Chains A and B, each alone.
Chain A
């Protein structure tokens, strides 16, 4: 990863710090350039810590033996798939209501990462499900609604790619993202509202935890790792999209001319 060139001719912060400072693509570009590697390093650190606890501290499960250890990546990836969707819908809505193109850019940057975590959630779940509950897949409420989440992500990406006019594409995508957000509480409450093969909640707010401490710690560390990772990669992609869309501006050209060869 290259270091941020602080002596470049790229514009410094163009305005005072306000709520809308980073609605400017130029300002966001610089901020994201600093934050992405920091978040990336945090992700690696949390992941290594979580994996160490998960494999070398957490004990063998009384019922499931060793295969339960898939939980340490299954739950974080599934959680991220939901959190990222809500974030994507939020930014798409912000873009629409505030007419802010940076918000739309951010929504577009989130989508592929959200889709990836959904795939990982489904896939790790299947790999856990086959030996433990006897099946790769079942059309129960949780798995089905998580699969629908994947279709929503892919649908959003396809929709914004299909419409030539950027503003129209952003708005159409925002509509889809916002309408689809109803699926997230369905996924979350599916194990409560319906009788599912998928087990109930792993964590209960406030009440005494049923899970052994090191297992919980490993899961939370990997959740933090996935969260930091998501920030890093979304910032990275958002920078790319900013340059794609704002390429004809003076600041973008100055930046590229300045960093020629990097």
Chain B
């Protein structure tokens, strides 16, 4: 193991700020993106369900009148 301690690993030869900002952004953005896509998918499903429910209600109202 070339890292003799955790602090040495985090320090990255004095450039820890740059290295971990880069990797941090990488992880954060690539976790956020699928979550947003998931949200979009769920929203689309909800929209379809609502439209179907609206149509059913309208049809039921039409039959009653």
Contact = CB atoms under 8 A, between A and B. Distances in A.
Nearest to B41: A240
Given A60-B13, A116-B33, A237 B25 contact: no
Interface SS of B by simple majority: helix
A66 B52 contact: no
B1 to A, nearest CB: 7
Q: A120, A130, A236 — which one has the most chain B CB atoms within 10 A of its CB? A: A236
Given A66-B13, A77-B26, A233 B34 contact: yes
B52 A256 contact: yes
A248 interface: yes
B9 to A, nearest CB: 8
Interface stretch (A68-76, A164-172, A179-187, A192-200): A68-76
Given A120-B29, A127-B22, A259 B45 contact: yes
Interface residues of A, number: 42
Contacts of A173: none
A247 interface: yes
> Chain A binding site: helix, strand, loop or mixed by DSSP?
helix
Residue with the highest number of chain A CB atoms closer than 10 Å, among B1, B2, B26, B34: B26
Interface residues of B, number: 31
Interface in A104-141: 112-113, 116, 119-120, 123-124, 127-128, 130-131
A124 B15 contact: no
Contacts of B21: 127
B44 A247 contact: yes
Contact of B19 (A59, A70, A248, A256): A70
Interface in B24-62: 25-26, 29-30, 33-34, 37-38, 40-41, 43-45, 47-49, 51-52
Interface of A: 40, 55-56, 59-60, 65-67, 69-70, 73-74, 77, 112-113, 116, 119-120, 123-124, 127-128, 130-131, 229, 232-233, 236-237, 239-241, 243-244, 247-248, 252-253, 256-257, 259-260
